[in-house]
Chain A
């Protein structure tokens, strides 16, 4: 038993440069669980033992989230300028899209550059359905879940094809799907060809025209983030992240990779489709070059990478910073290419220097700084103790 314990400690302490690591409170020391003849009991002996719960150890900054929600909620009441609320609506739509993109690509590691397909599908569904069913005003909003469902439905065959391959091949296939969708929208009669389809114009007061869109976008963004949190904490989310790390290994541990990936894509497409539908109703017209915009996915990818791929707050932060910046630059400059060059350069900087995103990198810096400070304190304390001790004689004086 003694050797068992020693070996167990050796195993546990290898990472710590040989420093013995005390067993976690509540855990059973290796080799002391049960006699060798009762190994199954040794494997499951501790019904009733209490273990630490590292999975849920991170406290949620509830106060920060509450303040952010409050600020977003009162924003259109404080800043009544239509330009400001216009920025707000588009930004919140992109918060929802970035969170949705992250649910699939951030958690699973499958980088999609074809989410514009779902965004555009939702958008076209709304304008065509509203026109065919003669819907107007607030009634059009009832089409949003349907638009999401249509986008989700489209995601199933796309996913069944694209998710059979990985990495670069997957990215290329998603780009191919995007161009198929764009070309279809430009040529099909139902989408109005290159001239597109007009969305109904609500007969609302000009001063508060943007507010219904704003609060619906806020609700959608909140739902997307809440769904991200739920997935992140669920077994489904754990399986997605395992697939991201090593899909074959996950399959070898019983994870049914294809259904898991497909479910994530469908959920992501559902939110993206709703966001596209809300966006098109807000801007008033669906035309192929804007609804299926090749820069859409790049913008979303930049937002998520900027904030932190696979995190909850990262996509929110990325969208809240980058989308208003881009809108502002577009407003200031007569040509949007300047902001596109700027964002291209930012993409390079993020990928080269902050590949894990601003939030995770800032967290690492803070942790590293804290460790340096603690180490400095400890060295100072040790130096103080050493100074109190009598100085041993030098080797040359020992004779």
Chain B
């Protein structure tokens, strides 16, 4: 399963605010890449730029060798890039199973879609809620549902925006295990997360963003001790851990 995601020289400003400034990042195929940085550093804006939710002012985005700059969210998804949101965006008035049937999944017959959806719900651990309205799920369960329905179309690349945010510790481990399992099959992940234990324990590579610019990139053990990262984001306490 290929799926290298590249952003090259991406810039985006909102009025006078420069959210992304010549930002370049690579999420190599089959790897889990973490994207960290202080609040307002441009992480979610970069996600939005990659997935077509924001038009960028400059730069390019590639999936493998295919340019996907400016493609609509629908197009980006159909090309094999799925994403979740920091604040979960599910369909609250549909049942959990109906949520799973919303994503386009061409080439799979209707009956097969239902079975596949139930398998994914079982995989994420919320199959027993299949018939419940999604709006009745807890926050953590919504995170799992969002992960599950992004997987429906079997995307090569999955972008997760704070998958562990606001989630209880046992569920965080559950989510991490699911990501590892999916990655072991070759799926690429790009993960925005503030939970350093989660990021450092899960990711093969970590990229640090500050003020819309990449300040460091490398393996977690290197990033953990990088003075620029300590200065911009982690602080000295993290280095002492």
Contact = CB atoms under 8 A, between A and B. Distances in A.
Contact of A11 (B74, B131, B171): B171
Contact of B98 (A23, A51, A238): A238
Interface size, A (range): 35 or more
Nearest to B152: A253
B94 A238 contact: yes
Contacts, number: 186
- A-side binding surface: helix, strand, loop or mixed? helix
A245 B92 CA distance: 7
B129 A15 contact: yes
B53 A14 contact: no
B170 A10 contact: yes
Contacts of A8: 125, 174
Contacts of B52: 252
Contacts of A250: 91, 102
A28 B122 contact: yes
B83 A55 contact: no
A54 B130 contact: yes
B181 A252 contact: no
A51 B130 contact: yes
Most buried by B among A8, A31, A57: A8
B185 A53 contact: no
Interface string B119-141: 11111111111111000111011
B86 interface: no
Contacts of A239: 102
A12 B130 contact: no
Contacts of B118: 27, 46, 49, 51
B44 interface: no
A43 B92 CA distance: 24
B158 to A, nearest CB: 12
Interface size, B (range): 35 or more
A253 B141 contact: no
Contacts of B93: 241, 244-245
B95 A55 contact: yes
A39 B179 CA distance: 9
B179 to A, nearest CB: 10
B138 A15 contact: yes
Contacts of A30: 122-125, 174
A55 B97 contact: yes
Contacts of B127: 12, 23-24, 27-28, 51
B83 A6 contact: no
Contacts of B74: 251-252, 254-257
B236 to A, nearest CB: 33
Interface of A: 3-4, 6-12, 14-15, 21-24, 27-31, 33, 36-40, 42-47, 49, 51-55, 57, 235, 238-239, 241-242, 244-246, 248-257
8 contacts: A4-B177, A11-B174, A29-B122, A54-B131, A55-B98, A242-B94, A249-B91, A254-B153
